Amino acid sequence: MSESTPTTTAAQDRVSFTQKFVYGLGALANNLVPASLGCMVIVLNLEFHMDPARIGLILAFSKLTDAIVDPIMGYISDHTTFSWGRRRPYIVIGAILSGIIYALMWRLPAGHSKHFYFLFFLVGTNILFICYTIFAAPFIGLGYEMTADYHERTRIQAYANFIGQVAWTAVPWFWAVMYNKSFFETPVAGARGLAIGVGISITLCGILPGLFCKEPFFQIAVKEHRKSGTNENLMAGVLHHIRSFFRGFWITLKNSRFNKLAIATFFIFNGFMIIAGLGNYTIIYYLFHGDKNAATSGKYIGLFGSLSSLCTFGAIFLVAWMASKIGKKKAFLISTSLAIFGYAIKFPFYNPHLPWLILLAAPLTAFGLGGLFTTVAAMIADVCDLDELENGERREATFGAIYWFMVKLGTAVALALSGYVLNWTGFHEELGGAQSSQTLLLLRLFEVGIPVVTYLAAIFVMLPYDLTQEKAREIRQELEKRRGAASA
């Protein structure tokens, strides 16, 4: 059977529409945290006059905290044997805490120094990401274990990315809402109001997978823990769990296929993150000469962001379809190549006389993240099967957490760099629309050139990836034989 040969998903491997939809709502909560935070922090620069480099450091330190806590939370989830499951209790608790903290951290008191706001937000974002990880690590692991079928895994991730993309469709309009005096007296008041809505949405959408999604591999994991003697209470045997944690971490890092997926994601996601905020500055200061009015620059920020997100819906559908026809790897390579072309044409499409031209790049750049998380997440689920075959444990949350640990370490650097990249262009907020021509040129060059380079690097990394549909099918058959023999 070749990689391109489609197979029919067996009835026992199918996941119902309801389960996929509920998991997708969890993905919406999962995306709301980084999407809304990344959009709203511009208020710290433009209203509290905080240096962009310091904002980048805030985001970088919180992301570093997130990265460190991720593998720990993944290990805890994989080794939990509560009767309710090893994922679901943490998903519910983490979603509630994340929503509350997000709403509170934007209650920035007036009349303080920039140093105070820096520390206030630094502490707030670090607490937020600890709570967020309690939700996210088990949630990602749950998605990997909802089915054992090669193609159904792609469909689950497509649902998750499709529904989760709603967050990225909505947040570009946050600028227009915060700066619209018909809604709020000041942008700061707008940020406070939006944060309450975001917090409620995170909580309501985030708890649903914990309440209604199933954990098909839960009993298998419990049996494996009993067999290996790791079913003890989490607070007991501290030394055993420390050794087990680092052993699992090392085994995961040595998995060459997993490394390819993590490194490719590192390049694509962090290439995107470095320049994510530059587009807003380019629109405001190049296309509209520093006009921050919601009716002008705000409209195009919202239009481009929402159009990109809407096009990502289509990209997810097309990539999932391609993966079922030609395999996950080829679908990834094609979608990433389309995104590279989309970024390349953005440079000539930035035209102050024809600002709508920039919207034409959105359908192509949407294939970058849309293709990445649809294909790679499904491929990691296949790698988890291989890991069980080689090491005798179901460790979905650990794989998901270490995957994001590697990505988030890079993202911490990317977010720290993002503020410095803006400074390297020579941008000064106090100049308003009088930015130099060199600054305006560098804004566009960085926004286009950085993702083109990093996306090409991701393609190069993924070319040798070899865990095909046929290999995944053989691994599953061997696992089922082993489990059957153990039960007998």
CA–centroid distance for 145 within its chain: 19
- The pLDDT of residue 224 is 63
CA–centroid distance for 189 within its chain: 28
Dist CA 199 CA 104 (whole Å): 9
At 268 the three-state DSSP class reads: helix
**Domains of the chain, first to last:** 16-228+251-487 (1.20.1250.20)
- The pLDDT of residue 423 is 79
- The pLDDT of residue 167 is 86
Q: Give the phi and the psi of residue 231 in degrees, each rounded to 5.
A: -95, 15
Residues of the chain with pLDDT under 50: 1-6, 230-231, 234, 295, 487-488
- The pLDDT of residue 237 is 55
Tens of pLDDT along 114-155? 788 888 888 999 999 999 999 999 999 999 889 888 889 999
The closest alpha carbon to 163, from 365, 371, 21, belongs to: 21
- The pLDDT of residue 292 is 62
- The pLDDT of residue 417 is 78
CB 157 within 8 A of CB 142: no
Tens of pLDDT along 158-187? 999 889 888 877 887 787 777 777 777 777
* The one-letter amino acid at 134: I
- The pLDDT of residue 392 is 79
250 burial type by CB count under 10 A (0-12 exposed, 13-18 middle, 19+ buried): exposed
The closest alpha carbon to 255, from 415, 341, 421, 382, belongs to: 382
Contacts 24+ apart (CB under 8 A), 345-352: 346/444, 346/447, 346/448, 347/444, 347/445, 347/448, 350/282, 350/286, 350/287, 350/444, 351/287, 352/286, 352/287, 352/288, 352/289
Give this prediction's pTM: 0.74
